[in-house]
Amino acid sequence: MKLFKSLNTQIFIAAVLGVLFGLLLNTLPVESAFHSASLYGLGIASSIFIGLLKLILVPLIFTSIVVGVSNLQAHEHGHRVWKVTVICCLTTTTIAVTIGILCAHLFQPGQGLHIDLFQQAMSGFEAKQQFSPSEFISQFINGLLVNPFKAMAENNVLAVVVFALLVGAALVAGGPRYEVVHGFLNQSFQLVMHIVGWIMWLAPIGIFALMAKLVASESLDVLGSLAKFAVVVTGSTIFHGLVVLPALLWIFGRMSPLTFFRGARPALITAFATSSSSATMPVSMRCAEQNLGVNPGVVGFVVPLGSQMNMDGTALYEAAAALFIANLVGLDLSIGQQVVVCLTAMIASLGAPGIPSAGMVTMIMVLQSVGLPAEAVAILLPIDRILDTVRTVVNVQGDMMISVVVQRFSGMNGSATESTPAVQPSVSTSPD
């Protein structure tokens, strides 16, 4: 019975039951009292759940990014190591997001379907989606540099992210002078995560309501599109892990991909089994040190930080998912809007803690960055657990690969005994 205590299992069961209940409603006359009452009740339950997720979105984004960036202050004596690490993380994440966007364009999952259920949420978006390139750049910059309190009140997530990055950078620059502020924000982050945990108690009910309402209101063709999307995302993630990352490792790390996979195999298997880069971290560190010959100081910094900030698979998935949802609601995203999706997916993957609830909230962040309905997250959750296994393997692979590259460019060798203080993230056994 321990299996049924898992949040992922409960969400999956709720999604299946929601589909079955939606099919049952489809067999009833639309004018029947039970059909009308059921849709009304499902609408209330789903609105409460989505409303709570929107409520916690801005506090989670602000505190998680500030805390994540400010953790770099513990490594002020390893400037070269963390600079190379950050450059590598941004590079691989950018490539992953690009692959996700290109594959979504190439295979176009969801194209041709129009989900009427989300049209009300999209009604206010049409008037503001057409801009010339110069107007878009101007609007984009003006949308980023605004009063942070106004941005928080209006759910302007990109402006909140910019302010959070500035606060985090200031904490790094100030060092011990802002120790009290750093402690306060760290406690604030833990407090927000506690509230997120409460909200997730309602996740199975919310997902049941959303899926039942979707199936009862829409064509079942959406399930076929969902399967196509799962195949596209899985294939593109595997391509990133088996082709792109090994090529970068060979070029910049001067290590054979076969040597890497042979040494990293225990960690990759553990990542696939647990779907958690945080839970896999001890195995990843052992493999990097003993099997790949990476300096313990480099491993102690890169792997823990990477388990929080280097999530190529997650970024690829969220970027592709945004285009999939756009296809479902019949919205043709402009190039500028796709750039916003890419940036937001990168930031969401960098700032998201390794738990399913936070991942759900940051997925809403990506959707809302271009005006897509937050309710659409319900379509993705039934397949999220399956896709999570593959993307977590790629996340863990990227951490170990970057440690090899960082060692080469930092000038440290594997026999060194001096180590850089390691990041101490909160370790979660929940999936990414």
CATH number of the domain where residue 184 is located: 1.10.3860
Token pair for 290: 């003993």
Domain assignment present for residue 77? The answer is yes
pLDDT higher at 15 or 252: 252
Amino acid at 376: A
Residue 417 lies in a domain: no
189 assigned to some structural domain:
yes
The residue-averaged pLDDT of 309-313 equals 81
Q: Which of 40-44, 131-135, 304-308, 369-373 has the highest mean pLDDT?
A: 40-44
Residue that wins the pLDDT comparison between 418 and 137: 137
| DSSP per position, 347-407 | HHHHH--SSHHHHHHHHHHHHHTTT--GGGHHHHHHHHHHHHHHHHHHHHHHHHHHHHHHH
Overall number of domains in the chain: 1
What is the 8-class DSSP label of residue 376?
A: G
Residue 168, domain member (yes or no): yes
pLDDT reading at 12 higher than 80: no
Instruction: Report the mean per-residue pLDDT for the chain.
Output: 76
As separate numbers, helices (DSSP H) first and strands (DSSP E) second, the chain gives: 18, 0
Does residue 367 carry a pLDDT above 80? no
Greater confidence (211 vs 392) lies with 392
Residue 178 to residue 194: CA distance in whole angstroms: 24
Closest CA to 109 of 314, 365, 326: 326
* Host H or E run for residue 221: helix 221-239
Which of 15, 17, 22 is CA-nearest to residue 218?
Answer: 22
Residue 258 counted as domain residue: yes
Query: Which segments of 249-334 does DSSP mark as H helices, in order?
Result: 257-274, 277-286, 296-309, 312-328
- Please give the residue that has the higher pLDDT: either 37 or 421: 37
List C-alpha distances in Å: 124 to 13, 57, 130, 139, 354. 34, 21, 13, 17, 33
Whether 83 maps to a domain, the answer reads: yes
What's the chain's length in residues?
432
Quote the pTM value. Answer: 0.69
Report the amino acid identity of residue 26: N
User: Does residue 120 register a pLDDT over 90?
Assistant: no
Average pLDDT rounded to a whole number, residues 137-157: 75
Residue-number span of the structural domain to which 131 is assigned: 8-410
Instruction: Report if residue 420 sits inside a domain.
Output: no
All residues at 6 or more sequence positions from 87 whose CB lies less than 8 Å from its CB, including other chains = none
pLDDT higher for 5 or 77?
Answer: 5
Task: Tell whether the model's pLDDT for residue 432 goes beyond 90.
Answer: no
Higher pLDDT, 232 or 30: 232
27 located within any domain? yes
Phi/psi of residue 155, nearest 5 degrees: 60, 40
Q: Tell me which amino acid residue 115 is.
A: I
In Å, the largest CA–CA distance within the chain is: 75
